Amino acid sequence: MKFQAIRGMKDILPEETGQWRMVEDLAREFFPRFGFHEVRSPILEKTELFIRGIGETTDVVEKEMYTFTDRSGDSLTMRPEATAQLCRVYVEHKLYNQPGGWKVFTMGPMFRHERPQKGRFRQFHQIDAEVMGVDEGLVDAELIGMLVAFLEACQVGRVTVRLNSLGCKECRLAYREKLVAFLKEREEGLCDECRRRLELNPLRVLDCKQPSCQAIVKDAPSSADHLCGKCESAFELVRRGLDSLKVEYNLDNRLVRGLDYYVGTTFEVVSDKLGGQDAVCGGGRYDDLIEEVGGPPQAATGFAIGIERLLLLSDLEPPPEEADLFMAMLGDQAEEMGLKISHRLRLGGLKVVLEAEGKSLKAQLRRAGKMGVRAVLILGPEEIKAGQAVLKIMEGGEQQTLDLDSLNQTLPRILHKKA
């Protein structure tokens, strides 16, 4: 039997991990400047958390979750996203009432059983940031400002911020009625899926990619025109904040997002280089979710960046991982000695290549040249007898003889490394 990775799940090989690490390191360095701290949480949660949090009629909950019953008979789900989970963390550990809110970020794999295609996987990775316990206003602008600056630091090229406000529960209810009335009149023109959505989740019709549906919704009433006074001024504050940070955005009243918990400001960052799956990031406010999962009423906002999509856009190039030293060894005794010496040098901080494969000196030097190492340490029977080794610096070819006993002191100095 030939084993292969599960469809839609990818191995990330050493050639790629350098770029992954750069992005992750950048997030770990960047977000704390804005007051965010890292959290790490399990992959598995009780299924009920996501049903309640994300919404029963969303695609994610209806068709995409990896759900199973464990040996204790509990229904568990591999997290499809981090927001509902982080609300659970916030409530479980009673992290309320923190000045400035609870500001956190997390990174890791998420799981959705979607149809795999470019930029869409069944196991994918997100960098997720959340602020819990702070009302709408400048914090949204601060968050989106951080997001855009981070994407810039990741060298993603030109991206567009789409911004909308869905309003609070009350404005949403009134808007929903108007929208349903509008769509009902044009129901025969909608695709089958949207006709179903009309009953269950009419806002999602706005998001449908079918040309027939798009033609209808382009004239649909807009959520932004149905905001109550409070939501209107909150949204204005967000826009003013973004203007003052010089963050460009496009107001887009078709932006509804695929998860049910959003209220107020929602946003996405898209790039036309990504094709059909064009969103590199999505986010918004979810002021009712914390209460929904058992906590007190607390306002909250956040976003998640898809790392795979970010990397499709990023021009970041990891620095080459060149080794400091190649051990060229001639004969069994030299190979044994080489093992001991390289272990000691590696513990001392040098990056050492050890390949005890019994090749000729010429072949070993050729290999070292190809790898781009700085220097080769040659160990042959003669050298060992004398308690010495020959160091050859690759650039320029200069050679010198070194005592084996003091290599841990001499080599780092010669190779300009700290001892």
* Cβ atoms of residues 56 and 62 within 8 Å: yes
Q: Does 235 bind ligand HAM (CB under 6 A)?
A: no
Q: Which of 102, 121, 267, 326: binder of ligand HAM (CB under 6 A)?
A: 121
* Cβ atoms of residues 260 and 59 within 8 Å: no
Coil, strand or helix at 68: strand
Query: Nearest-CA neighbor of 202 among 167, 228, 175?
Result: 175
Cβ 173 to ligand HAM shortest distance, Å: 21
Q: Count residues contacting ligand HAM (CB under 6 A)?
A: 27
Q: Does 284 bind ligand HAM (CB under 6 A)?
A: yes
Q: Which residues contact 203 (CB under 8 A, 6 or more apart)?
A: 166, 176, 179, 223, 256
Q: Does 234 bind ligand HAM (CB under 6 A)?
A: no
Cβ 257 to ligand HAM shortest distance, Å: 6
Q: Does 302 bind ligand HAM (CB under 6 A)?
A: yes
Q: Which residue is nearest to ligand HAM (CB)?
A: 306
Q: Does 102 bind ligand HAM (CB under 6 A)?
A: no
Q: Which of 23, 309, 334, 350: binder of ligand HAM (CB under 6 A)?
A: 309
How many other CB atoms are there within 10 angstroms of residue 281's CB atom?
A: 27
Q: Does 49 bind ligand HAM (CB under 6 A)?
A: no
Cβ 179 to ligand HAM shortest distance, Å: 21
Cβ 283 to ligand HAM shortest distance, Å: 4
Q: Does 252 bind ligand HAM (CB under 6 A)?
A: no
Query: Nearest-CA neighbor of 245 among 378, 100, 348, 146?
Result: 146
Q: Does 83 bind ligand HAM (CB under 6 A)?
A: yes
Cβ 50 to ligand HAM shortest distance, Å: 11
Coil, strand or helix at 387: coil
Q: Does 267 bind ligand HAM (CB under 6 A)?
A: no
**Quick one: residue 124, left, alpha or beta (phi over 0 = left, psi -120 to 50 = alpha)?**
beta
Q: Which is nearer to ligand HAM, 126 or 223 (CB)?
A: 126
Cβ 364 to ligand HAM shortest distance, Å: 44
CA 294 to chain CA centroid, nearest Å: 27
**At what angle are helices 192-200 and 169-184 packed, to 10 degrees?**
140
Q: Which of 137, 282, 295, 338: binder of ligand HAM (CB under 6 A)?
A: 282
Q: Which is nearer to ligand HAM, 108 or 412 (CB)?
A: 108
**At what angle are helices 229-244 and 138-153 packed, to 10 degrees?**
40
Coil, strand or helix at 205: helix
Q: Which of 280, 325, 345, 375: binder of ligand HAM (CB under 6 A)?
A: 280
CA distance 330 to 315: 43
Cβ 114 to ligand HAM shortest distance, Å: 5
- Using CB under 6 A, which of the segments 39-47, 126-134, 314-322, 326-334 binds ligand HAM? 126-134
Q: Does 303 bind ligand HAM (CB under 6 A)?
A: yes
The DSSP element (H or E) to which 170 belongs, if any, is helix 169-184
